[in-house]
Amino acid sequence: MLGGAVLVLTLGGCAVAPEIPVINRLTQPQVVTETVYVPIYVEVEKVVEAKPAPEPIRLPEDQDQALALLLELARLSNGNAEDARKELSAAQTAFNRDRSASNRIRLALISSLSANATADDTRLQGLLEPLVGKVGGLAASHPIRPVAEMLLAQINERNRQVREQAKKVEELQQKLDALKAIEKQLLDRDRRRN
C-alpha cells in the first residue's frame, strides 16, 4: 500500500499547479476619505405668539364716499324699478336733511337712473353744477368731484341727444308739412279741372 501512495504522490507531483495571479500593489484602487455634510431636517414645534390681525385699510372719508357712490351706481343700475323708487325717496329725504356734497351727488345719481330722468335734467344740472363750479365748487383733487363731473357730462350728452332728436323730428315735420301742401295743391288743381 505504501507503493500505491508513493505512486499517487509521484503522479501528483508531475501535475502543473494552477497559476495564482499576482496583484500589483500599484494597480489597486486607492481609498480616499472625504467628509461630506448631509443636511438633516428636524421638525421642532415652537410656540409663537399670535399677532393680532392687521387693521383693514381705511380710506379717507371723501374717498370712501366716492367709492360708496360708485358701488351704489353699479348696484342700482342692475336693480328693479321698485328698488330705484325707494332709493330715490331715501336720497331725497337725506338731501333735504343735509345738503352735503355726497348727498347732492347721490340724489343726482339715483335721479339720473330713473325712468323720467330726461325731464329732470335741468334739476339735476342744478344739483351738480355748484359742485364743479370754479367758484365755491369742490377742489379739483377732491375724490367726489370726478363723480359729479361724470354725471354732469352724462346729463349734458343726454340733453345734446334730445336736442338732436328734436331737431330731426322738426325737420321731418317740415318735410311732412311740405308734402301735405303739395298734396293739397294737386287736389285743388284736380278739382278745378273737373
pLDDT band for position 20 (cuts 50, 70, 90) = low
pLDDT digits (tens, 9 = 90+) for 132-157: 877 777 777 777 788 888 888 888 88
pLDDT band for position 7 (cuts 50, 70, 90) = very low
Q: Which of 73-77, 114-118, 171-175 has the lowest mean pLDDT?
A: 114-118
Mean of per-residue pLDDT scores for the chain: 76
pLDDT digits (tens, 9 = 90+) for 101-112: 888 888 888 887
pLDDT digits (tens, 9 = 90+) for 22-79: 555 555 566 667 777 777 777 777 777 777 777 776 666 667 777 777 777 777 777 7
* Long-range contacts at 146-155 (CB < 8 A, ≥ 24 apart): 146/66, 147/66, 147/69, 147/70, 147/105, 147/109, 148/101, 148/105, 148/108, 151/105, 151/108, 151/109, 151/112, 151/124, 152/125, 152/128, 154/112, 155/112, 155/121, 155/124, 155/125, 155/128
